[in-house]
Amino acid sequence: MNSPLIPEFPEEQNLLLGEHALGLLDPEREAEVRAWIERDDNAARMALRWQQHWLSVSDRLPPEPPSDSLWKRIDASLVRLKQSSATRDDAARHDAEQTSASTKASWLLRWLSGGLGLGLGAGLALALVMQMGPFSPSAPLEGTSPEVATQTPDGDAQRMVAILQTLEDPGTPTWVANVTPSGGLQLTPKVSIERPTDRAIELWTLTDPQEGPRSLGLVDPIAGIELSAEQIGSMSPGQLLEMTLEPEGGSPTGKPTGKILAIGRLVDLNQRDS
Amino acid sequence: MPAQKPSVSPPDAESFDHASAIEACARGDEAAFRSLYDLESGRMLALAMRLLNSRDQAEDAVHDAFIKLWSNAGQYRRELGNGRAWLFTILRYRALDQLRAQGRTPRGDSDALDTLADLLANPEAAADDSQTAHQLSDCLGELEVPRREPILLAFFKGLTHEQIAEKLSAPLGTIKGRIRAGLKLLQECLSR
């Protein structure tokens, strides 16, 4: 069943997807439409059809030769991606074994002090891990919407959420990340995050410590954001999510460069329930 | 990755089998990936530069789009649509998300409409287009300027309703109505 934001009649649906193709939808509706496209083949067909129509117009633009460095960057990212893929199974097994606080601290430290170059002390990172430890879905953290923690897909499907917290005040949830039944990720702000107008908030995840953080794109600090399964890739319990303050347009290096605004770890609620 | 022969001429984009190339990427075929890059990076960069008004940011968007292409190629289903449209959808998602995160401030677009009008009126370019291309170009040409302008500003510059209203000095509700009406006319025209 579609969201109330999705019209019932095909002609209206096609118009909505026409506005989507133009990028005219507000963030909430855009997220709904992207999720709809992901789950509904007919919507996906209509959306691709609009895009195909518009290609014929954008093709009128004279091609811009890319700089020599662009392919080199893509090639380098591809090498990292393939390395990550080769070790993904090992990493997944590794993640599953992350049961001791000391191991968790080691993993997080590697990201925080190695991947981010922040030089955080072991004590702070360990404290953070402990703050991010088990919580009961039946007793949500203060300020956290209960329905997020209890939003369940069908049957035994995996239910994963992450409570993102600040380093300064790890007891206060700032964002809730909820894995949707279709495998996307919905991020909802719980408090206002201050952001200079010329800076951006970038979302990152870490699946493989050797690969380091991977960008999931820029985040609207007020409306939140919903990422499709296509955008976010596979997710697993224990996976870290983090938001950093970056220059306008996002990190210039492909890795986090700015202050950590919020950080948290995906938790499988089914495992917590059992 | 070994170097591949670069730069296929742009008109080949019409005959290139994008769907098969994307499916080959899903199987780890780096040559297919490079072929897509050689064929489409110039077009993708041109569109991203229109949207983002910055070569650096546009190249970032193209970079991210190709990495997502490689990562998500297995999710592409040719029965749902054109592979090239799928690739450009990834690019637009990335570029529009960048714009949205920046507050989508319109910059440097003073000549956008003139240039785009010229592009649409260029019969030489139209000769290379597919049947679909002809139809949309024709349909856009049929729209009255007050309806076509805001649609082109949205597509090429990524402007919001509010920004278009400000740029065209028209009430917000008027702009929303013109765009909806314009899209409806395009929809009708395309279905003829």
Residue B76 sits in a domain of what CATH number?
1.10.1740.10
> Are both B131 and B67 inside the same structural domain?
no
Within a domain: B55: yes
Residue ending a domain, choose from B49, B70, B101: B101
**How close B96 comes to chain A (CA, Å)?**
7
Q: What is the mean pLDDT of residues B167-192?
A: 94
> Are both A119 and A218 inside the same structural domain?
yes
> Are both B121 and B165 inside the same structural domain?
yes
- The pLDDT value given to residue A154: 40
The minimal CB distance from B82 to the residues A48, A60, A233 is found for A48
Within a domain: A143: yes
Within a domain: B5: no
> Are both A129 and A246 inside the same structural domain?
yes
Within a domain: A139: yes
Q: Does B43 contact A58 at a Cβ distance shorter than 8 Å?
A: yes
Within a domain: B162: yes
User: Which distant-in-sequence residues (6+ apart) come within 8 Å of A245 by Cβ?
Assistant: A195, A199, A200, A201, A258, A259, A261
Cα separation values, A207 from A49, A113, A136, Å: 34, 16, 24
Residue B179, amino acid: I
The minimal CB distance from A52 to the residues B64, B82, B120 is found for B82
- What are A171's two structure tokens? 């007891």
**CB-CB neighbors (< 8 A) of B59 in chain A:** 66-67, 69-70, 73
Within a domain: A63: no
> Are both B117 and B92 inside the same structural domain?
no
> B1: pLDDT confidence band, cut at 50, 70 and 90?
very low
Q: Does A81 contact B160 at a Cβ distance shorter than 8 Å?
A: no
> Are both A152 and A225 inside the same structural domain?
yes
- The pLDDT value given to residue B129: 45
Within a domain: B4: no
- The pLDDT value given to residue A150: 30
> Are both A149 and A185 inside the same structural domain?
yes
Q: What is the largest CA-CA distance in chain A?
A: 59
| Domain residue limits at A196 | 68-273
Q: Does A230 contact B68 at a Cβ distance shorter than 8 Å?
A: yes
> Are both B173 and B146 inside the same structural domain?
yes
> Are both A46 and A171 inside the same structural domain?
no
User: CA-nearest residue of chain A to B181?
Assistant: A15
Q: B71, B147, B175: best mutation site toward chain A, by most A Cβ within 10 Å?
A: B71
Within a domain: B1: no
Q: Does A23 contact B92 at a Cβ distance shorter than 8 Å?
A: yes
Within a domain: A3: no
| Domain residue limits at B93 | 10-101
Within a domain: B60: yes
> Are both B119 and B178 inside the same structural domain?
yes
> Are both A24 and A105 inside the same structural domain?
no
Return contacts of B45-49, CB within 8 angstroms, 24+ apart.
B45/A63, B45/A64, B45/A65, B45/A66, B45/A70, B46/A58, B46/A61, B46/A62, B46/A63, B46/A64, B47/A58, B47/A61, B47/B88, B47/B91, B47/B92, B47/B95, B47/B156, B48/B91, B48/B95, B49/A64
Count how many domains chain A has. 2
**Interface ipTM:** 0.85
- Does residue B48 have a pLDDT over 90? yes
Residue ending a domain, choose from A40, A58, A76: A58
pTM comes to: 0.59
Q: Does A79 contact B134 at a Cβ distance shorter than 8 Å?
A: no
In a structure prediction context, what are the per-residue pLDDT tens digits for chain A, which is 274 residues long?
566 778 889 999 999 999 999 999 988 888 889 899 988 999 999 999 999 999 988 888 999 999 999 999 999 988 887 776 666 555 455 554 544 444 444 444 444 443 343 333 333 433 443 344 333 222 333 333 333 333 333 444 557 888 787 766 655 667 888 888 788 888 888 777 767 777 788 888 877 655 677 888 888 777 778 888 877 787 877 777 888 888 777 887 777 777 777 777 787 776 544 4
Within a domain: A221: yes
Q: Does A41 contact B80 at a Cβ distance shorter than 8 Å?
A: yes
**CB-CB neighbors (< 8 A) of A197 in chain B:** 103
**CB-CB neighbors (< 8 A) of B161 in chain A:** 24
Count how many domains chain B has. 2
